Structure 1
């Protein structure tokens, strides 16, 4: 989420769930919200629009865990990110959950650092607690959208559909939002998942391949063009450290332990684009 405040809309199906409001930067409301709760899925973390991403991500996570433990919650599933499992600069090949991002590494931006430090703090806090912890590490989350607000990764698809003159040579480790949700539920209920990290990625695709899947212009921009453009276009600066990154992730652990079977990345991309077009009308 782009805000430290967790908000939900009125239930679409009356009586199915209760809606409360809480803030990752305040203790108010959390004790009441945790009463009678068996499982907690902690999915909210700031992505942009804040000068400080690390503080709300780390302290907010610790706040959720503290109140969950005090309430006797059985398990917390925390949404981390592949940003917390970034291999060293220049790496190629496929990586798994044993990788941890080096916070001092080249090109490690504030978002990656916030996800890393929040997850590390979570594991440290939950040592020797009765409540179990599981973390799920999604890649670039695409798929059908419910709203055009706070779209996160989906802005990549939106920009491609908008007619970019060319696409940067950036690789994406893609997961469908529906598959990410499914993995969270599996991690929540499977006894053997306690104390584990799970990569949530289907497949790797270059942005040019994503564009071709959408019948959009797919000419790759030379890296030096993107670097030059980033000097004047602030929104392109986060792309520079990602240029040429060709590593992927394996979801073998989630598949073998939890029976997780994500859909092909191309299907996710195409359905995401269809959803964006529908929401634009």
Structure 2
């Protein structure tokens, strides 16, 4: 019989894809929601995407900012996929909310004798301080939390991951821990709830940009992130490891714009044709938080290795950069998300 899995934040972009695949593979799945009213929407989305074994899915109300509900959520679970993050605020006072949330998960998982927690971390914790374009960014790298242009969201996630590793280093329990660190997650969405990375694609085709920043990106299809989570959950070699989730290679915003013009010409009218010179962003960085964040994206190394996931977990990307981008484009159109 397949083991039991807790997926946190069941109405999220990635969480619903994980639930869909876990049910398909025969797992018994429990998921948390901040509000039980969201249950009907999750079930409707799963049914619309041909979910099987829905009788193996149950819901618990729990919020990462409170202990309430987590004991019930963890009861009888073999694995925990810690996907959800607290509601994000740009107020610096809430910078540690994500840290407090993952520590709450780990403590409750220990008490419930969970076998392994897999945390959805992010690439921001790994690759935003490596500016050597001739190097390769790997899981051994850590971003300097005081990096200029490091957004509060990225910083909060990085602080959370570091705190989780420090907690596990001091722990004497048998709980196992792994992180998946995705780059920009795109691909096809199950409903109108998409990842924050979709905003990059949306900005290219909704008329909000006059020029395209010449920023290179690493992207990953949500299906590949799902695959990696499940492999990391079950593979004995994954314990104590970080894994970058990325398609092979990289793709720039101008290349993405050209791809959309060619593959989805009906959307080309509002896509800018001019590329923003890099100096504009560099000059603006001292005066604009947005420009400072953009300058950091210009400066960091994008030679990102996904070899560890391939070698340790036997993972191979299901998608590539172009398919991943077009999946996101089609979802933006399908769910009418291109309106400003």
| TM-score past 0.5 threshold | yes
Counterpart residue number, 1:132: 176
Counterpart residue number, 1:254: 309
1:28 to 65, 68, 76: 68
Give the superposition deviation at 1:54.
2.5
1:141 to 185, 188, 192: 185
Q: Secondary structure at the match of 1:23?
A: coil
Give the superposition deviation at 1:61.
0.5
2:206 to 162, 167, 170: 162
Gaps of 5+ in 1: none
Q: How does 1:35-114 map to 2 (within 5 A)?
A: 35-46=75-86, 48-52=88-92, 53-88=94-129, 90-92=131-133, 93-114=135-156
Give the superposition deviation at 1:134.
0.4
| 8 Å Cα contact 1:89/1:106 also seen in 2 | no
Which structure: greater helix fraction?
2
Q: Does 1:196 align with 2:237?
A: no
The Cα RMSD (Å) is 2.5
In 2: Cα distance, 1:205 partner to 1:156 partner: 12
2:223 to 170, 178, 184: 178
**TM-score if structure 2 supplies the norm length?**
0.75
Q: Secondary structure at the match of 1:122?
A: helix
| 8 Å Cα contact 2:60/2:72 also seen in 1 | no
Give the superposition deviation at 1:140.
0.5
Gaps of 5+ in 2: 1-8, 13-32, 48-53, 262-270
In 1: Cα distance, 2:307 partner to 2:130 partner: 23
In 2: Cα distance, 1:47 partner to 1:229 partner: 30
Count of matched residue positions in the alignment of Structure 1 and Structure 2: 279
In 2: Cα distance, 1:16 partner to 1:65 partner: 24
Q: Secondary structure at the match of 1:214?
A: helix
In 2: Cα distance, 1:140 partner to 1:91 partner: 20
Q: Does 1:121 align with 2:176?
A: no
Structure 1 segments (4+ residues) deviating >4 Å: 5-8, 227-237
In 1: Cα distance, 2:141 partner to 2:69 partner: 35
2:276 to 184, 209, 221: 221
| 8 Å Cα contact 1:167/1:220 also seen in 2 | yes
Give the superposition deviation at 1:23.
1.1
Distance 1:171 1:38, change over 3 A: same
